[in-house]
Amino acid sequence: MLATIADIQDFTMSNATFSEIAELLRQHDSFVVMSHVRPDGDAIGSQLALGHALEEMGKTVHYINEDGLPDNLAFLPHSERIVKPAGEVLDVDVAIALDCATKPRLGANALVAAEKAKLWLNIDHHKSNPGYGDVNLIDSSSPATGQILYHLITSEGLPMSAVTRDAIYVAVSTDTGSFQYSGTTVATYEMAADLVRQGLDVGDINAKTYDSHPYRRVELLRRLLNSLEMSEGGRLADWKLAYAVQEELSLKPEDSEGLIDMIRAIEGVEVAAFFEELQTGEIRVSMRSKNPAIDVCEVAKQFGGGGHTMAAGIRTEGSLDGVRGEVLKVLTAQIAAVASV
């Protein structure tokens, strides 16, 4: 039986429970599973994890991402199922948005593909997520959407195939900086231990995730280091990437994934920022904080972005140097305010 309008209205008032979501998944037959543009490990891993669990339940599942599958995650089993939307409208019961803070970040073509869905399910861990689904599960205390899915799947007895197991591990590992970030919890380590008990080959999957980068990534790192600047007495580090450099090095979006952690790790640095000029002319900003008192999500919101307290992003119009100047001005004020307390 399909969820009624009254059911949906009840759900939108608060987070749905695991049992309510599991019941919706069991009631419906066809799904499109999506994640945000420029997908990372948590986005792709979450898609594969939940999507394959649904397939194991006998459901029809479409996996789409506006930008497709990044090369660095193609080692994940079943990842060939993730495709770019082809412009067609899919005949599905439910659209599932995973690890996506706002609906537009799914991408225009992905939204077209899902427009006939009778129900929208939104599962995420970004605190800036406004709850745009008909049914929402937003847990900003979780370090990754993959961990939310692990608890959903295990608590409700949904299928945990090898595909789902490996995808969950990569989702959580990449979004916690290999289990290093402050959001990593006891539950995160217990989840990882359980996945190993279920047959996860930690050495093999970590090698594929972290030890198999193309040479152009090294060239990118060289260029970024040459642009590195330190300010606020060494508490703020930033670097920038012009689109011309991306063209020259034939870079792919995933090539810069995780590199900001190198400057975040500098002794004395409390905030790191990465400014990137996109082909569209927009500027993409990634920010990382090591000090919980410096909330980069609040900074991001001032420029139409969002994310987490200690990891947030912006995509905005403007020049590379212009946007950099405006964002650094706000970050500098935040750092100064915390220093004066």
Are both 5-210 and 216-339 of the same fold? no
Query: Is there a contact between 240 and 320 (Cβ–Cβ < 8 Å)?
Result: yes
Name the residue with tokens 């992003």: 313
At residue 300, the 3 state secondary structure works out as helix
Query: Is there a contact between 323 and 331 (Cβ–Cβ < 8 Å)?
Result: no
Output the tens digit of pLDDT for each of the chain's 341 residues.
Answer: 333 333 433 434 369 999 999 999 999 999 999 999 999 999 999 999 999 999 999 999 999 999 999 999 999 999 999 999 998 999 999 999 999 999 999 999 999 999 999 999 999 999 999 999 999 999 999 999 999 999 999 999 999 999 999 999 999 999 999 998 888 999 999 999 999 999 999 999 999 999 999 999 999 999 999 999 999 899 999 999 999 999 999 999 999 998 999 999 999 999 999 999 999 999 999 999 999 999 999 999 999 999 889 999 999 999 999 999 999 999 999 999 987 66
Show the tokens assigned to 163.
């595909």
Distance CA 34, CA 68 (A): 10
Show the tokens assigned to 94.
């439910």
Show the tokens assigned to 237.
């580090």
Tell me the angle at which helices 145-155 and 186-197 cross, rounded to the nearest 10 degrees. 60
CATH number assigned to the domain with residue range 216-339, chosen from the 4 options 3.50.50.60, 2.40.30.170, 3.10.310.30, 3.40.50.300: 3.10.310.30
CATH number assigned to the domain with residue range 5-210, chosen from the 4 options 3.30.70.20, 3.90.1640.10, 3.90.1300.10, 3.10.129.10: 3.90.1640.10
Say what the pTM is.
0.87
- What is the DSSP pairing of strand 236-241 with strand 229-231? antiparallel
Domain ranges of the chain: 5-210, 216-339
Which candidate, 121, 103, 134, places its Cα nearest to that of 26? 121
Half-sphere exposure of 309 (CA within 13 A, CB side): 12
Query: How far, in whole angstroms, is CA 297 from its chain's centroid?
Result: 14
Query: Helical H runs in the chain?
Result: 5-12, 18-27, 41-56, 108-113, 145-155, 162-175, 186-197, 202-210, 215-226, 243-249, 260-264, 296-301, 320-339
- What is the DSSP pairing of strand 82-83 with strand 236-241? unpaired
